[in-house]
Amino acid sequence: MRIFSTIFGLLLLAVAVIFGGGSLLPREHHVAIKARFNQSAEELWRLVSDFEHAPQWNTHLQSAKRLPDRNGNEVWEENYDGKVFIFETTENTPPRRISRKILNDDLPYGGTWTFEVVPDGNGAILVITDEGFIDNPGLRFMAKFFMGQGATIAGYMQAFGRKYKEALKIEVVTPTRA
């Protein structure tokens, strides 16, 4: 019985640390990463802005379906590993910059991702910026200390690299605020 009590106490302590620590972290975060590609800026832009065909190269994306526009902006439903997300394109400045906002209001997180394509000699640099929030303190703690705030955008960047069969050097270009 003493072992059970000790284990139970340690579990309660872990939960208290995770949720207590998470509640001390800022709700909002900002992180940006970049990588250089051996593709032209025009080719990279075509890939970044072609949501319809993204399931062909992004192994986590099962489907992408165009929905009716919202306020004149494109809206897409995307299924990532069984989780459905709705994105609104809030800015589209071809061929350099596109921003997408998560519209789902049933998630414990949200925000906007901005993709910027910058010509660089015979290649291009892609910068992905995540300006978001995490409501759940436990998830906020896990994102900060175990997953890394830029882990999701880094995974997305790696998917671009796999499409082009390029080993990318991903760099953090802004510190995480959360």
Per-residue pLDDT of the chain (178 residues; tens, 9 = 90+): 788 777 766 676 666 666 666 677 788 889 999 999 999 999 999 999 999 999 999 998 999 999 999 999 999 999 998 899 999 999 999 999 999 999 999 988 899 999 999 999 999 999 999 999 888 888 787 877 777 777 888 888 999 999 999 999 999 887 544 4
How far does the chain reach from its first CA to its final CA, in angstroms?
A: 41
Strands 123-134 and 109-120: antiparallel
CATH number, residue 46: 3.30.530.20
Give the number of domains in the chain: 1
pLDDT value, residue 160:
92
Exposure string for 68-81, b = 16+ CB within 10 A, e = fewer: eeeeeebbbebebe
pLDDT value, residue 94:
95
DSSP β-bridge partners for residue 102:
87
Its domain, for residue 113, covers 2-174
Exposure string for 96-112, b = 16+ CB within 10 A, e = fewer: ebbbbbbbeeeeebebb
Kind plus residue range of the DSSP H or E element containing 19: helix 2-24
CA distance 154 to 17: 27
For 166, the token pair is: 């390029």
Provide the edge-to-edge strand list for the sheet that holds 28-37. 61-70, 73-80, 83-93, 97-102, 109-120, 123-134, 28-37, 171-174
pLDDT value, residue 22:
61
pLDDT value, residue 89:
97
